[in-house]
Structure 1
Amino acid sequence: MEKKELKPVYPFSTTPNHVEEFEFDGKNTQKVEGKEECVKEVKRLIWLAGPLITVGFLQYSLQMISVIFVGHLGELSLSSASMATSFAGVTGFILILGMGSALDTFCGQAYGAKQYHMLGVHMQRAIYNLENKGAALANAVSYWTNVLMLALYIKFSSACKHTWTGLSKDALNDSLNFLKLAIPSAFMISLEYWPYEILVIMSGFLPNPKLETSMMSISFDTCCLVFRIPYGLGSAVSTRVSNELGAGNPQVASLAARVVLFMTLTVGILVAVTLLLARGVWGYLYSNEEELVTYLGAIMPVLVVSNFMNGIQAVLSGVARGCGWQKIGAFVNLGAYYLVGLPSAIVLTFVFHIGGKGFWMGITCGSSLQAFLLLMVTLRTNWEQEANKARARVFSAYIPVAGTKTMHDLSAGHVQPEETQALKYHIIAQQLKESFP
């Protein structure tokens, strides 16, 4: 059959760049150990994570700059803006972000399995299921401009011609299958982010609410800014793992998970040293209040530990999204933050009267437990089995391209050559779903 050349989504890809028939046995155990393969994997991850980290910094800078301007208006303005931002995050932004993270699994595995047209269909399913006032308005306008530019890029860029085939009514079909992963995804992300927002709100109940809320706002803003790096790496490894599992390369997916963890540990140490060196002056970026700057400097060592553990859990969460473990991730986050993290923070702050530092010490306990549990899940993973699950997930939701045929057409021999293999996978996937519900 004639091969259709496609531009790879990233260089050094282990997945063939042409559409061809390949065996679906989930046992592609090609040797991927050794220094050379590790170096190649580092290059793949950097090539993917670099733009994601840059975009993350640029997007978060919208909120960060707004907070900086408001902070120089005074502690009251800063604390009130913090409350408003936290409320918006808890009630809306984080839920949408969580449901959208289901696309990490669906789109990544579909691309690895060469079902390129399904990326656009999955994206449509996600959309269908879905003085300081000036700073908030500027933020909203910037986000909507970002949405418009992304939509235009998808519509007109040649890079998306194989993955975006236009609006399709098929996006309304099989929504239940999408929601089965999207809802756990929303809970996985929300259960992780909500405790931080809750602590910002709870800081208003401390003896000096303006100071404490301002400190929590700057601390949280700093953590979110630093988090862009491991979050970018987590998104990159999510893509790598989902692509390789969808393509039937479980050993490569395993290597990607190990390599990104080493990269995160290295970056985490560098960021920790940088923040410790800058702790005496970092607060001046947000406020001229000497008391607030000094307080933030005293909190910084705890923040550094929190950031380091957050980095580890971020990339492990990326591995989880790539494998489709959102339900497991939701239970891990529920236990880590709501049985350990938040109770510890409340006890340390309101019982032992440690103040805002108690909030961060408690939540760090939660993120540490989260990272440990996700690490245990990752280390115990049967990657060959995950590859089978990925292929079952991809082809159970299979929608053929232009001029679709049915299973009856397959048996009658009325199917075009390029559709035959995908329809065969669909049959196999239905059988596998009985083993991997």
Structure 2
Amino acid sequence: MLENTSSDTATTPLLEAAAAENIHGGEEGRNRGGSWWRKLLDVEESKNQILFSLPMILTNVFYYAITLVSVMYAGHLGQLELAGATLANSWATVTGFAFMTGLSGALETFCGQGFGAKVYRMLGIYLQASCIISFFLSVVVSICWFYTEPILILLQQDPNISKTAALYVRYLIPGLFAYGFLQNILRFLQTQSVVMPLVLLSALPMALHFGIAYALVHWTSLGFKGASLAVSISLWISILLLAMYVLCAKKFEHTWHGFSFESFSFILTNLKLALPSAAMVCLEYWAFEILVFLAGLMPNSELTTSLIAMCVNTETIAYMITYGLSAAASTRVSNELGSGNLDRAKSAMLVTLKLSVLLALIFVLALAFGHNIWAGFFSDSPEIIEEFASLTPLLAISVTFDSVQGVLSGVARGCGWQHLAVYANLAMFYFIGMPIAGFLGFKLNLQAKGLWIGLICGLSMQTSTLLLITLCRNWSKMEIPVNREKETSVFV
């Protein structure tokens, strides 16, 4: 993280600064006679963040759809193929794709603060260092993927499904490398607030993917293997489009100066944040997967697993929406910290938190009034629909906490607090949330409700911890001393 050695900066923690700001803001509001709405929410900042968030949400959904469409094509080949592709996609996500997404989180700190500090040339160096790390760690993950079948069998999965899943994963390996590069370039662009072009650059490969997947599955001898190979091809098309955009657009002439051996000297520096960033993401992903696994161990496993899977998918969709605000929080906070504007960084963070709560309330209301319709998309069983209705209040609570913690996680990435967030996720999910889930689900026989209550306990404690870190940390120590002539900065 970039460190400020300036001695003339105030060292007021955020909690005290926010209180002082409220006092001055209240006087100014009374003097101006402003509306209650403007006092509640900074309209201009909110507008800018929403305009930033929407393209990021669409971009995330389009890239997510690439893997989902291939699973659908595979599923139409037969029940075994559907089970194998679904299991393979979950396995690839928790062991590879989520890991690559997490690794790119270091760029949200370095590129975000560097862009705010106007050390533009360094953004390209950071990007190259992160891509080198992603490449070598993709090799490690690929070796793990070659042994997917014995690992899944060791995890008590059906042998036939495990064999089919292993075959699917093997053809995803080229896509893993592309996905790592893709996430790095997205962070490089995101931290410069270049988001609108990403919608087109993600929608195009997603649209092409329909044709590629159909052709490989039905017009070649690859069949089932063609579905996963199509993912790899579409992800590499995405990389080529993004790379061409960065190389050809004039707006990047200051942040991309071509390939440089200088990037190798920043690999260790990048790793100090990349690995905690990856752990942040993976620990949360794994917690949800553990719930599905625990549901499969219960007496009425078919019903419980279906309910938990529906809840997890609903939570994932809700988080995709929150993801845009998380990216906005990370970018705004890191840019303002890089510029040395502490007050504006704090203000941007508070606005994002308010927007996340508002967004969560809208989603919760939609879920409250439409839970039966939503459950009907997953199953026609009256029993499952009825049980899902009883879980809806718990799901509403978890969505609310997840929305807030998503923004706080974005702030943590923007500030370079990934190592603190890792401790919070590990302790709250695995030492509190999962044990409570197991106790309530199995010992008290609450089954799906018990598992989800345990998750809520973990989420609420995680959110509270991240909020406490955000409020009590001394933000002034994160400002960056920059020699703007030499474009250099100081690292810890």
TM-score range, shorter chain: 0.7 to 0.9
- Quick check: 1:79–1:217 contact (8 Å CA) kept in 2? no
Deviations 1:350-382 (A, max 9, x none): 212222222221111101111111111111132
User: Which of residues 388, 397, 401 is equivalent to 1:296?
Assistant: 388
User: 2:277 matched to 1:185?
Assistant: yes
| Cross-structure match for 1:154 | 246
Partner-residue secondary structure (3-state), 1:365:
helix
- Quick check: 2:71–2:89 contact (8 Å CA) kept in 1? no
Q: Supply the distance in 2 between the matched residues of 1:421 and 1:147 (Cα, whole angstroms).
A: 32
In the TM superposition, what is the alpha-carbon distance from 1:245 to its structure 2 partner? 0.5
| Cross-structure match for 2:121 | 117
Partner-residue secondary structure (3-state), 2:340:
coil
Deviations 1:126-158 (A, max 9, x none): 110128766545544443333332222222223
- Quick check: 1:79–1:213 contact (8 Å CA) kept in 2? no
Deviations 1:228-265 (A, max 9, x none): 12211011111000000000100100101111111111
Deviations 1:66-96 (A, max 9, x none): 6677789999876655433332222212211
User: 2:444 matched to 1:352?
Assistant: yes
In the TM superposition, what is the alpha-carbon distance from 1:191 to its structure 2 partner? 1.5
User: Normalization by structure 2: what TM-score?
Assistant: 0.69
Mind listing any 5+ residue stretches in structure 1 that lack a counterpart? 1-22, 396-419
Q: Supply the distance in 2 between the matched residues of 1:270 and 1:327 (Cα, whole angstroms).
A: 32
User: Which of residues 142, 145, 161 is equivalent to 2:237?
Assistant: 145
- Quick check: 1:196–1:220 contact (8 Å CA) kept in 2? yes
In the TM superposition, what is the alpha-carbon distance from 1:222 to its structure 2 partner? 1.6
User: 2:255 matched to 1:163?
Assistant: yes
User: 2:431 matched to 1:339?
Assistant: yes
Letter in 1 for 2:279: F
Q: Supply the distance in 2 between the matched residues of 1:123 and 1:91 (Cα, whole angstroms).
A: 23
Q: Supply the distance in 2 between the matched residues of 1:310 and 1:116 (Cα, whole angstroms).
A: 34
Partner-residue secondary structure (3-state), 2:118:
coil
User: Which of residues 348, 351, 370 is equivalent to 1:278?
Assistant: 370
In the TM superposition, what is the alpha-carbon distance from 1:343 to its structure 2 partner? 0.9
| Cross-structure match for 1:83 | 87
- Quick check: 1:94–1:190 contact (8 Å CA) kept in 2? yes
Q: Supply the distance in 2 between the matched residues of 1:144 and 1:319 (Cα, whole angstroms).
A: 30
Q: Which moved more, 1:321-330 or 1:63-72?
A: 63-72
Q: Supply the distance in 2 between the matched residues of 1:369 and 1:64 (Cα, whole angstroms).
A: 32
User: Which of residues 305, 314, 323 is equivalent to 1:231?
Assistant: 323
| Cross-structure match for 1:127 | 131
Deviations 1:32-55 (A, max 9, x none): 956499222212212221211121
What is the aligned-residue RMSD (CA, Å)?
Answer: 3.1
Deviations 1:280-305 (A, max 9, x none): 02133234444444443332322221
- Quick check: 1:251–1:383 contact (8 Å CA) kept in 2? no
Q: Which moved more, 1:177-186 or 1:57-66?
A: 57-66
Partner-residue secondary structure (3-state), 1:345:
helix
| Cross-structure match for 1:366 | 458
Q: Supply the distance in 1 between the matched residues of 2:368 and 2:77 (Cα, whole angstroms).
A: 27
**What pairs with 1:34-433 in structure 2 (closer than 5 Å)?**
35=38, 38-64=42-68, 81-130=85-134, 136-387=228-479, 391=480, 421-423=484-486, 426=489, 429=490
Which structure's residues are more often helix, by fraction?
2
Q: Supply the distance in 1 between the matched residues of 2:250 and 2:379 (Cα, whole angstroms).
A: 46
Partner-residue secondary structure (3-state), 2:473:
coil
| Cross-structure match for 1:417 | none
Aligned residues: 378
- Quick check: 1:28–1:249 contact (8 Å CA) kept in 2? no
Mind listing any 5+ residue stretches in structure 2 that lack a counterpart? 1-5, 30-37, 135-222
Q: Supply the distance in 1 between the matched residues of 2:386 and 2:71 (Cα, whole angstroms).
A: 19
Deviations 1:363-409 (A, max 9, x none): 1110111111111111113232222xxx15xx5xxxxxxxxxxxxxx
